Each structure stands twice: as structure tokens, then as C-alpha cells.
Chains A and B, each alone.
Chain A
Amino acid sequence: MSEAAVSTELMKVRDLHKQYRMGSQTLQVLAGVDLQVEAGQWLCILGASGSGKSTLLHLMGGLDTPDQGTVHFRQQDLFGLSAAQRDRFRNRHVGFVFQFYHLLPELDVLENTLISAMVDRSALAWPGQQSELRQRAGQLLDDLGLSPRLHHKPNELSGGERQRVAIARALINQPDVLLADEPTGNLDQATGRRILDLLSKLHDKGQTIVMVTHDKEVAARADRVLRLETGKLGEKSGGKSPPG
């Protein structure tokens, strides 16, 4: 709020450290990561497998806690929040998309999409908002080409379809930022490309996206690409703007 320039700044990561203990060894995954995400930006973090890019994404979504450093979302320190507030933040402002789709096998496509909406709506509140939410979910799924599949279970869907359901689930609460962890990693090239086209379309509509991948071609679709190596981020050539 202090400067006009930060009005476009959505997230700010400062000096993020995270290490894992694997038996007797400690693994320094993140060793001082600094990062800024502008609203409406498509940011891609490129890194080899095991470089800690998923960890970074989880930290940015408040799913994990860092050893050191801060993540700010609109000037709000995520790790200064209570666990309940952080859960709520994740529900309202973040949409996760995973490499392995991670749909709930017992629920059908529509229910999987609506589950995020069910998290912060109680049994009392639901009936009042149900029709609106169902309509929104139907619209989303229609946009993603899934309308004939509304009542199929995940195991009846192809990989591309599952990932599209996962995207619909991530978008149902109209999040400020979409955090995508190798969204094409488990798909064949053609299907992956269609998913990326989808993300592009969303991005064109103004959706902020942070995506991590190990695939340079995939990364090429982003506005800005950062490379994660030995726990630190570096600018990759071809990026649109310099780091803040």
C-alpha cells in the first residue's frame, strides 16, 4: 500500500530456506530464494527433478512451512497467519494443479470440481449458494470441454480429462493465483500441449499462474522463466522483465 508500484505485486518471496532430513543426511532444498509474482503474470520456474521446485510451490501455497524466510501475499505474511487462516488462504486465493491430477476417486467430475467450494461452506450455507456454484462449475467444465463427463468417476477419464477436472477444481473459488506443479508431466505431448493452450487462454483472461516444470518447451509459454539451481533462483534468458 505504500507505493503505487506494488499495486501489481501479488506475491513476494524473500530469503526462503527449506531443508529436509533424509535419514542421517540433511538436504538443503531451498537456500535463500527470492521471488516476486506480479498480478496477471505467468511465471515459470524451471528446474531439474529434485531441485526443490515443488517445495517452493508448496511453500508459496502455504501447504508447507519454511525453515527461514517469508512469503507475502498482498503484503500479508503467510507464515505469520494461524494454521486456520492459512487453510482459508489456500482455499480462497490459491488453486493447486498437480502432476498426478490428484482427484478424489469416490467423487464424480462435478463433485471433484465443487469440493474446494464445499470446504468453506457449511451444510447451512450450501443450499443458498448451491445453484450458483453448480452453475459456475458447469460453466467451467463446459469451457474445459468436460460437459459430457459431469457424472463420470476419475477412473473413467483419460489423463488429459483428469487434468482438466483438476484445473476446474483449482479455479472454482476464483483464486488469485494458480500454482501448477508439472501439469503436463504425466501427459503425452499432444495432450500436454492442449493443457498448456488452456493455461494460456486463462492467462490471457488475466489469471496469474505460477508453474514449475523441468521441460524448457513447456516453460517457453510463460511470460517469465526463472531457473532453480542448487537451491537458488536465477534469471533465465528470454524472460520478459528483470527480477524485482
Chain B
Amino acid sequence: MTDAPTPDTAGGTNPLALAGGLLVDLVVTTLKILLLLVGIIIGLAVLAVPLVVLGPVVLLVFVLTLPFGGLYRHTLARRYLKRKLAPLFAGAGVALCTMMVIVVISIMGGFLELVRNSGHRQIGEVSMYAGLGGFPHYEKLIEEIEKLPEAEAATALIHAYGLLKLPGDMIKGVQVHGIDGEGAARVSEYRQTLYWDRNRPDVVQLRELTSQREELRGSRSHYSPRWNELADEIIVLETKTDREPTDDAKLTGLYAQREELVESKSQYSTQWNKLEEQIGDLEGKIGDYWRIISTVPRDRDPIEAALKMAPPWPEALEVNQSAMVTGIEVSPYNHRNSDGSYRFSPSVLGRALTLTVLPVSGSGGALTPSTDRFVVVNEFKSGVYDVDGQRIYIPFAAAQKMMLMDAAQKVDPDDPTKVIGTIPARCTEIQVAAAEGVTSEDLAQAVRGLYDRFRQEHRDLPHEAQMRISTWQQMRAMLINAVEKEKGLLTFLFGIISVVAVVLIGVLFYMIVLEKTRDIGILRAVGASRAGVASIFIGFGAAIGIIGAALGTLIAYLIVTYINEIHAWLGEGLGAAVYAAIWTIGGIVLGVVGVGIVHFIARVREKPLSLSRPALVFSAIGAGIAGLLAAILILSYNNDLHTWLNQKIRIVIWDRSIYFFDQIPNTINWFEVGIIVTVAVGASLVGAMIPAFRAGLVDPVRSLRYE
């Protein structure tokens, strides 16, 4: 421990003592800073509510008194705003904090909303579930439930796990739901999540446009024969040696006709081009969807097929194939584009796939697997990745049969030929939708009551304790709570960061006040009051707060609205942007250096030029633009480089295979924004209040004493 600094009483010359003293200073300073931090945190914690209330009140009072009191306050507050760095930094600080908090709250809030909605969308309001073994008498139970005033509709489901064989001998584990399509559509948003729809507005529009184009193509065919005819007639008349006046008149008529034809042909091509352009645009937008959906024959509506859970074409039924609806991410051949649309190579729509499920016996053992073939009549996209990637729907009856849950005869275990009763058909879940205005809690309560009564008559149903009757919120509680906590935590963290902004503004303003002490003295000498002088700085703070918060809101709005585009760009266009930025910066540097060289040469020749700022700025901007243009040119001609750059330099935060949702939520809650902006403006005012108070206390005599 020879290097440990020890207190030395012999004097300050000892380097060890010096180091020790330094260490003590450091420790003391650290402690002081810590103490200050603790003070700030405690102060803000205690004052948080009063500050938030105080800010708007101060602002209101300030705004109301604006027209009264000396004009000098406005003049000076405006002049101080025009100063260079301090107001810029303070405003930027407010803007950044406002922006951060709005972005975080909006995105996390949107995320929460998505989690909630998706839960709701999938489940309906209330679910009854008693394990994979299922429960009997569901038909009767559904009938009873639908009689409840609280319930809108109910539907039975069968849950199973299975193996799906996809084209190319690819086997995938899937979650199988046996559903009644129409029942599911009544209870949940099954209908809305179906992906293939012949009547989607953009598809309809594109279909109309293409048929218009076909019509137009047909009308073109008469142009050329007519043109040739005309040309022939004209030639005959023109070359006629002894033309008579009637011929001339006829010729004029023919010319006019030709003119007309040219005119109508040009109209035709404008129309054609316009149509082509519209079709091209729309095709570019919906792309592969159009390619697939336009091959589906008119009489085979995928939506209807998914609701009926039966293939719309008779040949499938002949080979005894039922319908299947798969999640959009189930097929590995569906590739998602960055804009959320899909490419299909190939599409599974209309293909027959083989599904194997493992039935479970009453005692929980696995029975012989059963296999069947299903035609994919539609796909669905709920937006929740784990659902879209794993779930498939098959007809309820087919699932029941495969899972051996249909009604069967009960035989004597000793003599399998002897029938001793029947086993009723079973399902594994009943989903219930609430009637208008009924909360899921109330509905669950009603269903529970019903089930208790119902079980009195059907003792073979699972016990109340085994039958889980839960609302969709409860089923998704884990996820919803987690996201809620996450939102709260993030908002809190960024709130703390915003405290930094208040401190920052306070310090900046304090520095401005210190620097302006003499000005304050002067104003007091010409008759300004303490309050008047203080209000200059309050006004200054209000202006910075309002401008900063408005700017922050604007930026946040743009970021949140275009978050998906920005994210896509970070993943796909960042490389090119960095490349272009490097060229631009290079250009600016060259521009500056160039001016420097010119001046150096001038100096060497002893004819020094005066270095003017505009010249420097112009050459820097000019060279920067030249660099940017060069980068754009290079990138547009060198596609390989472009692609390579974008593949090498990219940031992907929202990985769609990790997050549940395929889109980053981009809605803004303006109520929350209102609160945030109020707090931001209030905080800037509070930050300005302490220095303003200090300004009011400046002793004019003392501040005027020296230059």
C-alpha cells in the first residue's frame, strides 16, 4: 500500500500529500454534487405537483398581464431571444424532452392498445375453457348462454396441436382450432382478420381499371383499318389527274376526317397512358396480393369459404377435403415486405395440405394420430405474430372427429361388442361475445352463474373450479400488465430526463441573468420595477418553453406518424444516406479548405484577400451540394454499391419476428400530448422563475458601480 495517499503534516511539497489533498478535494466535490442532486430530486419530488400547477398559472397570469406594464419588457425579452447560443440550447432542450416523452408515451400507449385489441379480437369477451380434454353438452350450454341478456353470441371451439405438412415437404408444428366459421365471426373479429378478399376496395378498383383498359384496347382495333382506308381514299383523290370541284370538296371532307381521327387517337393515347399509370401505381402498392387474388375464379369467394369452412369448389368436396384457414405467417413461402405487404412464392391459397393431430384420451394419454387433408381457402392476419405464425383453423366437425371428441358409443371394457351407452360430443372452449353495453366482467359473472345452474342438471360437466371462465383481459393479463408497467417505467425514466431540462433551463437562465446584471441595474435606474425586470425573464422562459414544446410536439408527431417508414428506412436506406452524408461533409470540408488555399496563395503572393464569411459559407454550401449530387449520381448508377451499403449499414430495432406486432403503433393521444406540453411549458417557466426572482433582487447600485 505504498501508493496510498497518506495525510502528511510535514508540508505541501510532498507529492503524496499533494495527491492526498487532491483526493480530499475530489471526494468533497463529489459529495457536494451528490448532495445537490439529492436536494434537486427531493425538491422536485416535493414540488412536482405544485410546479405542474404553478407553471400554467404563472403562464396565464403572465399572458393576461402582457398588454399592461412597460413595453420595455417585451422589447428586451425579444432581444434576449435573438441572442446566439443560450436560448437555442434551452429551446432545443425543451424540444428534445417534449419530443422524447411524447414519442415514448405514444408508441408504448399504442403498443398497449394493440395488445388489448388483439386479445379482444382473438377471444371475444369471455372464454370458458376446461383443458384439452374438453367438456360435453356444449350445444345445450351455448343455447342457454345465448339466452342470457348479457350475451350476444357464443361459439364452440376445439383446441389441438398438430403437424402441418407444407409444400416442399416442410413440416411445421401448429396450433389447431376447430371452429364454426360463422359462429367465430359473430363472437370475435374472425371475419375482419381474413386476408384474402376479392372485394377489398383497392382490389375492386384495380379490377375495374384493368377491365377499362381491356375495353380501351378493344376500341383501338378499329383505328388502323379506318386510318388505312382514309389514306387510300385520299391518295386516290390526290393523285387523280383531272380533279373536279366535287372531288376537292370530298378531299377536304376526308382531310377533316383524318384530322379528327388523329385527334381522337391522341385522346385515346392520353387516356391509355393515364390508365396505365393508375394501374401501375396500384399494382405497385398491392403487388403480389393482386397477382394471387386475380387468379381466384369469380365464383370462389375466399371469405365465404372461410365462413362456411368449406372449399368453394366442388371437386375438393368430392375427394372429401375440408377447408383450412392458416395464419399468414404459417407458410414459410409468404415473405413480408418492409411495408407490411407480402410476397408469395408460391402462395398456399387453394392448395391441399396434410394435417396430423394427436387425440387425447379421457385419462390424458395420447391416442393414435389422425391425419387428413385440407384445402387452404383463405389465410388470416391478426397482426399478432405468435398467432399468425402458429394458428390454423379447420372446421369444427372435422376437428372434433380427428380429436375423437365426437359423440360415440360407450362399450363394455370386457366385451367391446356390447354397447352400454353413449359418450356425448365435446368441445374444449366456448367463446362468448357481450351484448351492446355489457362489460366483459358482467358477462363473465352471468356466464358463471349460468354454468353453476347448468351443472346441477349435467353432473358430468367439469366442476366449477376446473372450468375456467375468464374475460379477455384476464387471459391477456400477463402481457397487458407487463406492457402497462413498461409504459409507466419508460414514461417515468424520460420524465426524469426531462427534469434535466428544467435544471438546464434554470442554469442557462441563471447565467443569462448574471450576465445581464448590469442591464437590470440600468433598467432599474430608468424606473423599471423589480417585478417588471423579473417578468422579462419569465417572458423569456415562456417564449422558450412554448417554442420548444411546440417544436418538440411537431417533431414527435412526425416521428410517431412516420415511425414505420423511419424504421424501414433505418433498415434499408441508412447505408446510402451515410454514404451521401460522407460525400456531403467531404464536399464542405473541401470547400472550406479550398477557400483557405486561395487565401494562402494570395498571402504568399503578398496580396492578401480579406476572408469574408459569406464567401466561406457559399463555397462550403456549394461544395457540400456538389458532394451530395455526386453521391446521388454514383448511387443511382451503381446499384451493387447501393445494395451493398444498405445491407452493411442498417439498424433494425423492431424485429418483426420478435415483436408480436408487424407494425410499430403510430397513433398520438392528443390528450396526453396536451398534458406533456403543459408540463414542458410549466417546467420552462419554473426553470426561469428562480433566475427571474434573482433578477428582481439585483441591487441596482451595486450593479452600476463598475463598467
Partners in one complex: yes
Partner of B75, one of A94, A111, A120, A169: A111
Contact A102 B522 (CB under 8 A): yes
Residues of B contacting A96 in the complex (Cβ-Cβ under 8 angstroms): 525-526
Q: Is A118 part of the binding interface, using a Cβ–Cβ cutoff of 8 Å?
A: yes
Q: A63-B525, A111-B75, A123-B74 are in contact. List 4 more A-B contacts (CB 8 A).
A: A54-B705, A87-B524, A96-B526, A104-B76
Contact B67 A124 (CB under 8 A): yes
Q: In the complex, what residue of chain B is closest to A111 when comparing beta carbons?
A: B75
Contact A87 B74 (CB under 8 A): no
Contact A100 B707 (CB under 8 A): yes
Please, how many angstroms separate the alpha-carbon atoms of A88 and B527 in the complex? 6
With A96-B526, A102-B704 as given contacts, are A123 and B71 in contact (CB-CB < 8 Å)? yes
Q: Is B671 part of the binding interface, using a Cβ–Cβ cutoff of 8 Å?
A: no
Contact A116 B526 (CB under 8 A): yes
Q: Is B120 part of the binding interface, using a Cβ–Cβ cutoff of 8 Å?
A: no
Q: Is B223 part of the binding interface, using a Cβ–Cβ cutoff of 8 Å?
A: no
Residues of A contacting B70 in the complex (Cβ-Cβ under 8 angstroms): 118-122
Which residues between 53 and 97 of chain B lie within 8 Å of chain A, taking CB atoms? Answer: 66-72, 74-76, 79-80, 82-83
Contact A87 B68 (CB under 8 A): no
Chain B binding surface, main DSSP class: helix
| B contact residues vs A (CB 8 Å cutoff) | 66-72, 74-76, 79-80, 82-83, 518-519, 521-530, 532, 700-701, 704-707
Residues of A contacting B71 in the complex (Cβ-Cβ under 8 angstroms): 118, 121-123, 125-126
**How many Å from the CB of A86 to the closest CB on chain B?**
9
Contact B69 A122 (CB under 8 A): yes
Residues of B contacting A169 in the complex (Cβ-Cβ under 8 angstroms): 526
Q: Is A217 part of the binding interface, using a Cβ–Cβ cutoff of 8 Å?
A: no
Looking at A61, A83, A120, A126, the one whose CB has the most chain B CB atoms below 10 A away is: A120
Residues of A contacting B523 in the complex (Cβ-Cβ under 8 angstroms): 104, 115, 119
Which residues between 156 and 183 of chain A lie within 8 Å of chain B, taking CB atoms? Answer: 169
Which residues between 43 and 70 of chain A lie within 8 Å of chain B, taking CB atoms? Answer: 54-55, 58, 61, 63-64
Residues of B contacting A207 in the complex (Cβ-Cβ under 8 angstroms): none
Contact B76 A123 (CB under 8 A): no
**How many Å from the CB of A40 to the closest CB on chain B?**
23
Residues of B contacting A115 in the complex (Cβ-Cβ under 8 angstroms): 72, 75, 523, 526
Contact A91 B75 (CB under 8 A): no
Partner of B525, one of A90, A100, A106: A90
Residues of B contacting A150 in the complex (Cβ-Cβ under 8 angstroms): none
Contact A119 B528 (CB under 8 A): yes
Contact A118 B525 (CB under 8 A): no
Contact B68 A124 (CB under 8 A): yes
Q: In the complex, what residue of chain B is closest to A54 when comparing beta carbons?
A: B705
Partner of A119, one of B72, B82, B83, B706: B72
With A63-B701, A102-B518, A106-B79 as given contacts, are A119 and B532 in contact (CB-CB < 8 Å)? yes
Contact A87 B527 (CB under 8 A): yes
Task: Map CB proximity to B onto A12-37 as digits: 1 under 8 Å, 0 otherwise.
Answer: 00000000000000000000000000
Residues of B contacting A123 in the complex (Cβ-Cβ under 8 angstroms): 66-68, 71, 74
Q: In the complex, what residue of chain A is closest to B83 when comparing beta carbons?
A: A106
**How many Å from the CB of B168 to the closest CB on chain A?**
76
Q: In the complex, what residue of chain A is closest to B703 when comparing beta carbons?
A: A102
Partner of A107, one of B75, B525, B527: B75
**How many Å from the CB of A64 to the closest CB on chain B?**
5
Q: Is A92 part of the binding interface, using a Cβ–Cβ cutoff of 8 Å?
A: yes
Task: Map CB proximity to B onto A215-238 as digits: 1 under 8 Å, 0 otherwise.
Answer: 000000000000000000000000
- Pick 20 A–B contacts, CB within 8 A, sort by A: A64-B701, A87-B528, A87-B529, A90-B525, A90-B526, A91-B526, A96-B526, A104-B519, A106-B76, A116-B526, A118-B72, A118-B75, A119-B527, A119-B532, A120-B70, A122-B70, A122-B71, A123-B67, A123-B68, A124-B67
Q: In the complex, what residue of chain B is closest to A105 when comparing beta carbons?
A: B519
Q: Is A84 part of the binding interface, using a Cβ–Cβ cutoff of 8 Å?
A: yes
Task: Map CB proximity to B onto A108-136 as digits: 1 under 8 Å, 0 otherwise.
Answer: 00010001101111111110000000000
With A118-B72, A118-B75, A126-B71 as given contacts, are A91 and B519 in contact (CB-CB < 8 Å)? no
